[in-house]
Chain A
Amino acid sequence: MRWLKSLNSGEQVAFLFVVLFGALLLVSIVSVLWSLRDRPDDEQESWQARWARFRHELNMVWVGACLFWAAWVSGPVGATLLFAVFSFLAFREFITLLHTRRADHRGLIMAFFVILPLQYVLVGTRHFDLFSVLIPVYGFLAIPVASALADDPQRFLERNSKIQWGIMVCVYGLSHAPALLLLEFPKYEGRGAFLLFFLVAVVACGQIAQAVATSRFRAKPVARRISRSFTMKAWWIGAFAAALAGALLYWITPFKAGQAAIAAFVAAGCGSFGVFVMQALKRDAGINAWGNRSAITGAVGLLDRIAVMCFAAPVFFHSVRWYFRAGT
Chain B
Amino acid sequence: MVLAEITGLFLSWLARLITGAQGHWKGCPPTSEQRIYFANHQSHFDWVLIWASLPGELRARTRPIAARDYWTSSPLKTWLTSAVFNAVYVSRTRATPDEDPLEPLVDTLQGGDSLVIFPEGTRSHKGAPQAFKAGLYHLSEQFPDVQLIPTWIDNVQRVMPKGEVVPVPILCTVTFGAPIRIEPGEDKRAFLERARAAVMALRPGGWKE
Contact = CB atoms under 8 A, between A and B. Distances in A.
Interface stretch (B84-92, B98-106, B130-138, B153-161): B153-161
B205 interface: yes
A55 B69 CA distance: 55
Interface stretch (A6-14, A107-115, A245-253, A318-326): A107-115
Contacts of A93: 171
Given A297-B173, A298-B173, A299-B171, A109 B166 contact: yes
Contacts of A105: 161, 164, 168
Contacts of A96: 155, 170-171
Nearest to B154: A296
Contacts of A299: 20, 171
Contacts of B169: 88, 91-92, 95, 112
Nearest to B175: A298
A274 to B, nearest CB: 22
B56 interface: no
B127 interface: no
B192 to A, nearest CB: 27
A167 to B, nearest CB: 13
B168 A109 contact: yes
Most buried by B among A91, A112, A297: A297
Return the 8 tightest CB-CB contacts between A and B, nearest first: A96-B171, A297-B171, A92-B169, A298-B22, A108-B168, A296-B204, A102-B161, A96-B170
Interface of A: 88, 91-93, 95-96, 100, 102, 105, 108-109, 112-113, 294-299
15 contacts: A88-B169, A91-B169, A92-B20, A92-B169, A96-B155, A100-B158, A105-B161, A105-B164, A109-B166, A294-B204, A296-B155, A296-B204, A297-B20, A298-B24, A299-B20
Interface of B: 20, 22, 24, 154-155, 158, 161, 164, 166, 168-171, 173, 204-205
